[in-house]
Chains A and B, each alone.
Chain A
Amino acid sequence: MSQNLRVKSSNFIDETSRISFKFNGKTYYGFKGDTLASALLANDIHLVGRSFKYHRPRGIMTSGSEEPNAIVQVGNDKAITEPNVRATEVEIYNGLEAKSQNCWPSVNFDIGGINNFLSPLLPAGFYYKTFMWPASFWEKYEIAIRHSAGLGRSPTKPDTDIYEHRYIHCDVLVIGAGISGIMAAKTAAKNNLNTLLLDEKNELGGMTIYQNSEKFKIDNKISSEWLNDEIEELKKLDNLEIKTRTSVAAYHGYNYLLARENLTDHLSKDEKENKVRQRLLKIRAKKVIVATGSLERPLVFNNNDRPGIMLSSAVKKYADYYGVICGKNNIFFTNNDTAYESAISLLKKGINVHCIIDIRENSNSSIVKEAQDLGLKIYWSHTIVDTHGYKRLKQISIMELSKDGQSFANSNKIVLDCDCLGMSGGWTPAVHLFTQSGGKLKFREKDQVFIPNKYPSEQVSIGSCNGDFELDEIIKNSSDILKDFLKIEKTGFDNMNVETSKETSKKNIWLLPSDKIVGKTKPFVDYQNDATAKDIKLALREGFRSIEHVKRYTTTGMGTDQGKLGNMHALGIIADTTGVKMGEVGTTTFRPPYTPLTFGTIVGRNVGEYFDIFRRTPMNDWHINNNAEFENVGQWKRAWYYPRGNESMYEAVQRESKATRESAGILDASTLGKIDIQGSDASEFLNRVYTNAWSKLGIGKCRYGLMLNEDGMVYDDGVTTRLGENHYIMTTTTGGAANVLSKLEDYLQTEWPELDVYLTSVTDHFATATIGGPNSKKILNKLIPDLDLSDENFPHMSFKEEKIGKINCRIMRISFTGELSYEINIQASYGKSLWEQCMDAGKEFNITPYGTETMHLLRAEKGFIIVGQDTDGTMTPIDLQMDWVVSKKKYDFIGKRSLYRSDTMREDRKQMVGLLTDDPNTVLEEGAQIISELDQTPVKMLGHVTSSYFSPNLGKSIALAVVKGGKNMMGKKLFIPMEDKTINVTVVDPIFLDKENKKLNA
């Protein structure tokens, strides 16, 4: 059965290589080079799917990426199954499995077909008009709607394929390797321009490469032969990179384009193993030549959607390129000469073509004459008024058109047997990429096409996408445009001898008349979404006048084929119905991608472990080996706590906190931002960026600094140390480091370029181990025996440059825990070694490594804020009860002015306080809201809990909170209303432990 639909083919099918594949569970055979579509047609299968809304039986219509109907689910594996794949684009391989979508139980017998009978109730936009009653039923309606919507099925397991990105910079990019694209690529490469040529198909040469008519000749060779020779030469050229199976998805500004290269979809499972599946090319081209060709138009007439109704150029391609006969009773329906080429080609292969239905009155072009000479019957001035055959076209009915094409000359209806109808409604230039890049179109009346009007800079269009449809025009105009664009004298294609058939008459009717009233017809404009001409007229009637409204209301052009076949007809019908000229209706905005683009391809390699970088400290391995749990702080991995044995987090943190205050603890503080500041104006600079005063800070001294945004809100903080006369090192929070540096640079470069200040990020240069606790001095003494650690020599908030062993280090005596504490900074490569030495020296003192959780707890006992946790971008230093850090004397600093705005100065703003729970064992939830009165409606929230812990050192729960007017509420009782209970608290001073700071000087 399958073989008698094959004819002796071309060079493009390898008949020696038989391939087996499955469709809807059955096994079929094709040849290497077949697409799923051509192989199915060769097996006499036309019915491949059901339409979206009406579930009408649908067949293969085209041979390319504009296919609206033949979309299938490929693959059974839950990880790599793929929905909505166009059968016309799948190159078959052994083991391919595909099935129809949107039908149940099968494409042949689909329950959804009932929608076809309900279609009068389902016009465009029907869902806006109903499903509203009863209101509570909407949820149930929605479930039904959602299950009937959608086409294929998403994978349900993670993708196992790999995708890549590649950057390409070139002098010339040529999009499309049809005849004009080949000319362009050859010309550019021969003129020493680095050229990239892309084509979405797997073979170069577009339609010309399988063209076999003697009517089309270049320099006395049949055009396909001529082109083949050109391609052979092309492949030998230097400076030329050619990629096939590569579709340009997006054309952005500044000649930046994205193209998707298909590497393995045409390979069998074994062949594709361990290979990259698709590559996204990110192209920056100095010049772009768009040679994307054009798409054949269907004709819009009653019931124009049955399986077996195809584009005439597709019927031709299946015969000439794939060697497949699409039907035994072929008829062509046309408004131009193209269908004649197709018909003649079929006849010459011995395929039965019954007749051609032509809506034109006559044509005397040479191709039409050739058809007539071959004995082909032509019905001039006729149109199809109906088609018959539910699952496969069986017959068509035709009638003679009246002179004006709006109705009929007489009432004779002729019924013809037909199982394959090739329709040709003309050609639509593929101007998608042109308009994506900002190009503007103009409408050409004579053949009803939108073509480029003005090219954006460094871009041209050539060939049929530029409106040149006839071979002689293509060759001459392309050559002329190339000369001008590439600024060369000759292209090598000048003055060629071209023979072609010239079209002599044209007629276009967007919506062909039927003998039935419009309401009883189904002339499809958008095949996939089942939008008919009726729907468009309905939309217009209801007041949706703009193409954008009509498109959305009828969903025309919104299917996976993105309206490639139907957009023009929709526009045409709107223009005719509203009486507006085509050029003025406008086109909808073409947006990327040109064909749907796989998410994985857009993302590339940054998946899984490559999603974001890991920043790790030099001590990271030590933490891992000592069982640390980690938290993400920005991109850093920080040790969170170090559970021993079966300790829970709570137990570990309690132990670490106690141990540090009792004896000694050690924290990896390497992640804090460190900015090296140098220059003769460094002090002045610090004065401007911090709220407090810096001019009088002595060399070798440290000071806490608070940074605000210009709106007066706390932004970052840290200790800054004066290393020398004009040399400081600033620390920032871990998360804020990069932002602070950017901000400071911004001010220096743009506001205060007169300041002599240089900033260098040194965060990654130094590792930092902070040892704290009553015994920290003893531990440091063991590390640096010669250093005098007395308060006179090395007071709190000062700095020493020392050596541990032979290695330099900087030691700041600063404390975030309230304990006696030393922060040792050393060159990063010695970080791990420093840590190990500290651990060793501290062993006798039970030195306890602690992580960020304990660090948070200890500082909370002292009432120290953490920017970003206790603050949220809406707190001023006054709000935080940090008046002491705001200089009264300084004229200005970043954020100062904002502190004096009317709202910012209010007394009843949220202020930082401490909270103690009545029940000391109840630990508050961070984020819980605070109220002062129970049973209030509406509830007046006063603030929230920002930090909360059970303090092992105090033996009770403590919390920091921000509360409206909290400053004046010391001792007041407040409430924390949780979902299931209310917790009583008392407002207290946020410093819970060692108010006199005795521990700092132990």
Chain B
Amino acid sequence: MFLINCPYCGERDQSEFIAGGEAHIERPKQPTELSDDEWAEYLFMRKNIKGIQFERWNHAHGCRKWFNMIRDTSNDEIKLIYKMGEKPPKG
């Protein structure tokens, strides 16, 4: 079970959280301008990376806030956690 350092509550057991998929996918501001292909990109296509991935998590059984996480999906090591709305670090 991961130990996740919620930016608001501190370290908590994974069972308090829900994973929310790939991070930094912005909902298009002008959906009607998009082709069906482009809309499908937003709706369905995912990087699904083996390795360093940027993703979202929610502290569902706690403060219920969303935040971002950088995690290595090949070994589940959490590298960094940062608040929702913050930009991911470079490099």
A: which residues have CB within 8 A of B?
A: 252-256, 284, 438, 710-711, 742, 745-746, 749-751, 753, 891-892, 896-898, 900-902
Contact = CB atoms under 8 A, between A and B. Distances in A.
24 contacts: A254-B2, A254-B3, A255-B3, A256-B1, A710-B43, A742-B60, A745-B66, A746-B20, A746-B58, A746-B66, A750-B66, A750-B84, A750-B85, A753-B85, A891-B32, A896-B31, A896-B32, A897-B28, A897-B31, A897-B32, A898-B43, A901-B36, A901-B39, A902-B36
Contacts of B65: 749
A753 B43 contact: no
B16 interface: no
B42 to A, nearest CB: 8
A749 B66 contact: yes
Contact of B84 (A284, A742, A749): A749
A753 B60 CA distance: 18
**A-B pairs with the 6 shortest C-beta distances?**
A897-B31, A254-B3, A256-B1, A749-B66, A751-B27, A901-B36
B6 to A, nearest CB: 14
Contacts of B20: 746
Nearest to A258: B1
A70 B23 CA distance: 54
A602 to B, nearest CB: 14
A901 B43 CA distance: 12
Interface string B22-54: 000011100110101001000100000000000
Give chain B's interface secondary structure class.
Answer: loop
A797 B20 CA distance: 37
A897 B33 CA distance: 9
Interface of B: 1-3, 13, 20, 26-28, 31-32, 34, 36, 39, 43, 56, 58, 60, 64-66, 75-76, 84-85
B56 A256 contact: no
Contacts of B66: 745-746, 749-750
Contacts of A253: 1-2, 76
Contacts of A711: 43
A219 B75 CA distance: 45
B39 A898 contact: yes
Given A438-B75, A751-B27, A897-B32, A252 B1 contact: yes
A438 B76 CA distance: 11
A604 to B, nearest CB: 13
Nearest to A457: B77
B84 A256 contact: no
Which of A256, A742, A750, A751 has most chain B Cβ within 10 Å? A750
A530 to B, nearest CB: 37
A252 B58 CA distance: 22
Contacts of B60: 742
Contacts of A750: 56, 66, 84-85
A901 B37 CA distance: 9
Contacts of B32: 891-892, 896-897, 900
Which of B31, B39, B58, B75 has most chain A Cβ within 10 Å? B31
Given A749-B84, A753-B84, A898-B39, 16 more contacts: A256-B1, A284-B13, A438-B75, A742-B58, A746-B58, A750-B66, A750-B85, A891-B32, A892-B31, A892-B32, A896-B32, A897-B32, A898-B43, A900-B32, A901-B36, A901-B39
Contacts of B13: 256, 284
B39 A897 contact: yes
B64 A745 contact: yes
A902 B66 CA distance: 34
A616 B13 CA distance: 29
A904 to B, nearest CB: 9
A345 B14 CA distance: 51
Which of A253, A256, A711, A901 has most chain B Cβ within 10 Å? A253
Contacts of A753: 84-85
A255 B1 CA distance: 9
B44 to A, nearest CB: 9
A898 B66 CA distance: 26
Contacts of B43: 710-711, 898
A737 to B, nearest CB: 14
Contacts of B36: 901-902
Contacts of B76: 253
A270 B58 CA distance: 49
Contacts of A897: 28, 31-32, 34, 39
Contacts of A898: 39, 43
A438 B13 CA distance: 19
A902 to B, nearest CB: 6
A897 B37 CA distance: 12
A480 B27 CA distance: 56
A256 B3 contact: yes
Nearest to A753: B85
Contacts of B85: 750, 753
Given A438-B75, A746-B20, A284 B39 contact: no
B35 to A, nearest CB: 10
Contacts of A902: 36
A119 to B, nearest CB: 44
A598 B45 CA distance: 42
Contacts of A284: 3, 13
A280 to B, nearest CB: 13
Which of A254, A742, A753, A900 has most chain B Cβ within 10 Å? A254
A901 B38 CA distance: 11
A900 B32 CA distance: 9
A749 B65 CA distance: 8
A896 B56 CA distance: 24
A490 B71 CA distance: 37
Contacts of B58: 742, 746
B1 to A, nearest CB: 5
Nearest to B20: A746
A742 to B, nearest CB: 7
A894 to B, nearest CB: 9
Contacts of A742: 58, 60
Nearest to B27: A751
Nearest to B13: A284
Nearest to A712: B43
A696 to B, nearest CB: 22
A845 B66 CA distance: 52
Nearest to A891: B32
A716 to B, nearest CB: 18
